[in-house]
Structure 1
Amino acid sequence: MKLLHVTIQTSKFEEEIKFYREFVGLNIQNDLRPMGKEIVFLADGEQETYIEIINNPEAFDAGNKYLSIGFKTQDVEAKREEFEKLGFKPTPIISPLPQVKFFFVKDPAGVNVQFM
């Protein structure tokens, strides 16, 4: 069994797409807007797991401190600095073990996004 996708329903549809495209580096793999559905699937080059974004004007703020989506990055410090320069508020770098470093930043829908 493998994870296929994570769905985010949001009232900030365009901002959410922009976040995952421009700041996370994912690409649109399937866009259902031409078919009248406000649904977009994004993924990295490997296309094994997708982020599905659904426009839902009634969506609640997903700012649940127990939910997060994690991404691997080449340089944790540089990625954190990039988010800071763009006006986001990333957490300090967390290092529970010497070889593990990560931080979190909230996406426009309030989902905690982790970069390791």
Structure 2
Amino acid sequence: MNLSMNWITLRVRDLEASLNFYHGILKLPIQRRFESRGRQIAMLGTEGQPKVELIQGSEPVLKAECGVSIGFEVESLDEAMAYLKSLGIPVARGPVAPNPRLRFFYILDPDCFEVQLAEHSD
């Protein structure tokens, strides 16, 4: 069996707030937006890469404490931190450098899911 990641789903309380965060702030392109069985859904991400699926619906929202986080690669961790600081988005944890080639930090999305921004160097 040959698998590849397609998407990860987050059930959110407020789709507009989540779109403002993932599209407006993190600049993930909106691939599609639609309604299915009374739920508002948006698929975000770069073409050819796994997507983030945001679903606003009536069922219970996954609790942020469950341990789910989403990670994104950035070219410059310092530039990412300065950009987010300029928008008033605080660093929730980090930055951390577990080895000489990796540095990362976490911010929180509107539903308090952790979003990791990481920089790998050669």
Q: CA deviation at 1:85?
A: 2.0
Cα distance in 2 between the residues matched to 1:34 and 1:68: 25
Of residues 32, 35, 39, the one that matches 2:34 is 32
Cα distance in 1 between the residues matched to 2:5 and 2:55: 18
- Structure ranking higher on relative contact order (CA contacts 8 Å, 6+ apart): 1
Q: What do residues 10-56 of structure 1 show as CA deviations (whole Å, max 9, x unaligned)?
A: 11210101111122111111111499641110112x33211111112
Q: How does 1:36-55 map to 2 (within 5 A)?
A: 37-44=39-46, 46-55=47-56
Structure 2 gap segments, 5+ residues each: none
Q: How does 1:85-104 map to 2 (within 5 A)?
A: 85-90=86-91, 91-104=93-106
* Identity rate, percent: 24
Cα distance in 2 between the residues matched to 1:58 and 1:34: 13
**Number of equivalent positions:** 115
| TM-score, L = length of structure 1 | 0.86
Cα distance in 2 between the residues matched to 1:62 and 1:88: 21
Q: What do residues 52-104 of structure 1 show as CA deviations (whole Å, max 9, x unaligned)?
A: 11112554363226221000111111101211221222123100111110000
The CA RMSD measured in Å over matched residues stands at: 2.1
Could you say which structure has the higher strand fraction?
A: 2
Cα distance in 1 between the residues matched to 2:110 and 2:96: 22
Structure 1 gap segments, 5+ residues each: none
